[in-house]
Homo-oligomer: A and B are copies of this chain.
Amino acid sequence: MGHNSFGSAFTITTFGESHGEGLGVVIDGIESGIKLDLSMIQSEMDRRRPGANPLGTFRSEQDAVTILSGLYQGVTTGTPLTLVLFNKDQHSADYSALEKVFRPGHADWGFQQKFGIRDVRGGGRSSGRETSARVAAGAIAKQVLAQKGMKIFAGTVQIGTLSTQKRNWEEANNFLCCPDRETAREMEKLIEQVRSEDDSIGGIIECHVQGVPAGLGEPVFNKLDALLAHAVMSIGAVKGVQIGDGFACATMRGSQCNDQRDSTGFLSNHAGGILGGISSGQEIVLQAAIKPTPSIARPQKTVDVDNHEQLLEIKGRHDPCICPRAVVVVESMVAITLLDLFYCAHGRQK
């Protein structure tokens, strides 16, 4: 499969650089006859967009989606859906200072070693802006999954050492989508403080899927948990993924960790809805560790392409925390993975 594709039956291929002509996604394998809600796609894009969020950057990226193919009279035809975000206002001049220097914590170093060349404008292909194409595809996957009874939502459950055990999703209408209104306010204050210190901070995002039928996922390499880990770990800022109790399982006994069952169903969900790589019919629960934004204004030691030492202060406005905008990206990758596995199991043709 192509390096920029994900999925085998429902396949997305993304393309584009932060400051090139445009970014987008080709969605291949969607069933025909789906009437798309275009405003829902746009509102998902807005959840990821900088500027929509007081905790984020003040840049206003242009995230209006153009559909180039695959729709006829508003309905999917079964041919590739292509969605493009044209870049309008790239300000490439801002990035000239970065042309020869490697930003700490960024992809710059690996790119240069691998390709010998990189598009330095806004991070090029490794910009967080690449995830906008995933969100566009995820919005469509969510619409299809909703018709099959599946619902996906995520939120921030930890920022720095501030975490919450509360999962009241009706309270999640805050910028962090945190399911605990009180903690959300403290998290927002913490992020503001970190910003004022020219620094950034990490967090944890938790994602839930309801209505997943039992039987998705394959027993060995394409376990549902393995594919979800692949999907979520492919988001730039994610450094860890856990399913159900995850790393806490290390401290548990089998008698605690096993989900027992009576005739009414499972009595617990330590497994996060996945047994032996196959969905059990329970709610799927996973968490992703989000690292602090690497772009910070504090001086950092680095080198340039000639290996000369530099002290770099990254100018411009950057998110002090990636979580607010990453929530919808996590949801999107989970949605894309589930629809792919659904089509693998059941086909896409009626």
Nearest to A79 among chain B residues (CB) is: B125
Contact A15 B110 (CB under 8 A): no
Q: Does A91 contact B (CB under 8 A)?
A: no
Interface centre among A106, A114, A248, A350 (most CB of B within 10 A): A114
Q: Does A23 contact B (CB under 8 A)?
A: yes
Residues of B within 8 A of A28 (CB): 2-5, 13, 15
Residues of B within 8 A of A247 (CB): 204, 239-240, 242, 247, 289
Contact digits for A1-42, partner B, Cβ 8 Å, 1 yes 0 no: 111111111010111110011111010110011000000000
Contact digits for A232-249, partner B, Cβ 8 Å, 1 yes 0 no: 111010111111111111
Q: Does A294 contact B (CB under 8 A)?
A: yes
Q: Could you write out 16 A-B pairs with CB less than 8 Å apart?
A: A1-B1, A2-B29, A15-B81, A17-B70, A32-B114, A105-B257, A107-B277, A109-B275, A114-B345, A160-B250, A202-B249, A233-B241, A239-B246, A241-B242, A258-B292, A263-B308
Contact digits for A264-281, partner B, Cβ 8 Å, 1 yes 0 no: 000100011011111111
Interface size on A, residues (CB 8 A): 152
Residues of B within 8 A of A97 (CB): none
Contact B82 A294 (CB under 8 A): no
CB distance from A211 to the nearest CB of B (A): 15
Q: Does A166 contact B (CB under 8 A)?
A: no
Contact digits for A95-137, partner B, Cβ 8 Å, 1 yes 0 no: 0000000101111111101111111000011100010000000
